[in-house]
Chain A
């Protein structure tokens, strides 16, 4: 089983710790890259960035460019159009959910990220 490459776009250190712990607990074999904001993430995924991701975990509340805007950018670039994106957020707000659904997401995970839910989500993406 090849290691999956996961891109986690998260700006908060505590949330990052909890999410990475969830990955450890699940025992999911993957390589995780963390980007602190939208720009970093897009840079990573671009031609020159040399980065590759099989799955993106996207926080909605980000500095400068918010999660929805990042998603829009991903979907407008043909290289990242089909890239599976899972929204990780504290929000269960209808408006945010429908906006994401419109752009096309793989799923939602509510913080704090539960191990089994994470495993299910990652497992599903294969």
Chain B
């Protein structure tokens, strides 16, 4: 306060000086008096005065001159001119030149003098105060601007950090930001290796390339280690002075060492109350120290970073899981492909088998053909020659001889017919099965009627269950029914009332057709001989005819994918059962209710 109350009085009248000195001194002002311009400037050189009371007329110069010079020198001082009535215009001019006010000499009203001085001083004080406030405000404004900028930057960084999913890029961006914002020489971000409990550099700026990879700082050692262990941020202005680190740090600061200067700012990176790393900031390139604001900035970044690291790690985890899943899907797809391949192979084999079967069929048919033909040639000669003997040598022949030759002829004819049947059957069997819906009931009825018509003497009852259908080859099925019905008719010849039944038993899996007669029947012990062609269960005398029927029936039924078997009781009758495959599927289509 004392400094702001200095007054300089410049007047050659010593009485005035003394008066003013007393007057103002009593009021607490520090008054200095001089009598001329030169002394005035001397005084001004030594001290700063808030107010100069300046006489207009001085021995070595004029007050105006002094005023001019003061104003030229741009001294921050107020000037009040002292003038007599005679030079009022000059005083006014002085005011125009920069004097604050003027006082009329001789001082009639001392109070007024005081008032003027006080007013001027106050004004000065106010102005000074103003300036001070203004510069304070400007400082604050700058601080605020800086803070706002950093906040905005942090915000943008936050967004960016969260969208960079590659951890490496993320950390690299972070250290660069810190270096730029803090104008630091070195920034390194270190993460803790959980297994070794060492900090290693993840990303850094301001280091020699080779140095980065070699650095391993155990948790607890050095500034970084300390921060990692304690979980607290620090600003260290001089490591050697700091009792926490001085002992450990004996190396000189070089570009080769991790810490290149005594100034360090270190902040922990926390994730869920656990320290996962640190951010080191070493030295300011333009000098100065790290401020609390700097610490706050890096700390905020660190927390942003930890979240983003966690995010990125989670994402990596997810991506790995996804890759695993993809691999599994790939394996599954490969397994499916494998199954498809096997299926295709299977189908191929089935096709091959079918082709083989077709070939076998054809071979069988060719065999039948050649066999029949080979048999027929000599047979035709047997028939031909025996007939020729009977015709050409009828008179010469003994009746017994004629009888014998006749038998030769009959046998020959019989065999000839047999080969015919075999050939015909072979042809039919070989041809492709033409399946259609066959009305078995109607077919059996018509065959039965035809057979009965051929034996008008006999009493024959043929009972046929109506509505029996089958999904098979019509011509071949006709042969089956013809064979079975004619057999039945044949073997009931000795019964007074022959009864023949044709029907079917339906089950969920299949339909079993049956043809029953009440004829001679057969001994079940010989059941397997039933279907072996050329064998006969009865002598020719009992029931004449060719015993090939059932063998053909078996062949046809087998061709349809079914089977045939028989049951018999001697004297009571026989039943022949047969199935045809493909029936049930077809039936299901026709009668879905079944």
Contacts and interface: CB of A to CB of B under 8 A. Distances in A.
A90 B376 contact: yes
A112 interface: yes
B373 A112 contact: no
A112 B376 contact: no
A94 B383 CA distance: 23
Contacts of A25: 391
A61 B385 contact: no
Given A92-B420, A111-B380, A14 B385 contact: yes
A93 interface: yes
B383 A90 contact: no
B423 A12 contact: no
A15 interface: yes
A18 interface: yes
A83 B369 CA distance: 30
Given A15-B380, A111-B377, A111-B380, 19 more contacts: A14-B384, A15-B377, A15-B381, A18-B381, A18-B384, A21-B388, A90-B373, A90-B376, A91-B373, A91-B376, A92-B420, A92-B423, A93-B373, A93-B423, A112-B380, A112-B381, A112-B383, A112-B384, A112-B387
Nearest to A90: B376
A15 B385 CA distance: 10
Contacts of A94: 427
A27 to B, nearest CB: 14
Nearest to A60: B373
A110 B423 CA distance: 15
Contact of A93 (B381, B384, B387, B427): B427
A61 B377 contact: yes
A126 B408 CA distance: 37
A14 B423 CA distance: 24
A112 B416 CA distance: 11
Interface string A84-126: 0000001111100000000000000011110000000000000
A60 to B, nearest CB: 9
Given A90-B376, A91-B373, A14 B381 contact: yes
Interface string B353-393: 00000000000000001000100110111011101100110
Please tell me the size bucket of the interface on A: 10 to 19
* B373, B391, B423: residue with the most chain A Cβ atoms closer than 10 Å: B373
A48 B387 CA distance: 41
Question: From DSSP, what is the main secondary structure of chain A's interface residues?
Answer: loop
A110 B427 CA distance: 19
B387 A12 contact: no
Contacts of A91: 373, 376
Contact of B377 (A12, A21, A92, A93): A12
Contacts of B392: 21
A93 B380 contact: no
Contacts of B427: 93-94
A18 to B, nearest CB: 4
A90 B388 contact: no
B319 to A, nearest CB: 72
B380 A90 contact: yes
6 contacts: A14-B384, A14-B385, A18-B388, A21-B388, A90-B380, A113-B384
Interface in A58-78: 61
Contacts of A113: 384
A12 B392 CA distance: 22
A20 to B, nearest CB: 11
Contacts of B380: 15, 90, 110-112
A91 B423 CA distance: 9
Contacts of B384: 14, 18, 111-113
A94 B430 CA distance: 13
A66 to B, nearest CB: 12
Q: 10 tightest CB-CB pairs across the interface, nearest first?
A: A112-B384, A90-B376, A111-B380, A18-B384, A14-B381, A112-B380, A90-B380, A90-B377, A112-B383, A21-B388
Interface in B544-575: none
A61 B375 CA distance: 13
Interface in B420-436: 420, 423, 427
A110 B379 CA distance: 12
Nearest to B431: A94
A92 B381 CA distance: 16
A43 B377 CA distance: 27
A110 to B, nearest CB: 8
Interface in B325-377: 369, 373, 376-377
A50 B313 CA distance: 108
A106 to B, nearest CB: 21
Contacts of B379: 90
Interface in A1-58: 12, 14-15, 18, 21, 25
Interface string B397-439: 0000000000000000000000010010001000000000000
Contacts of B387: 112
Contacts of B376: 90-91
Contacts of A18: 381, 384-385, 388
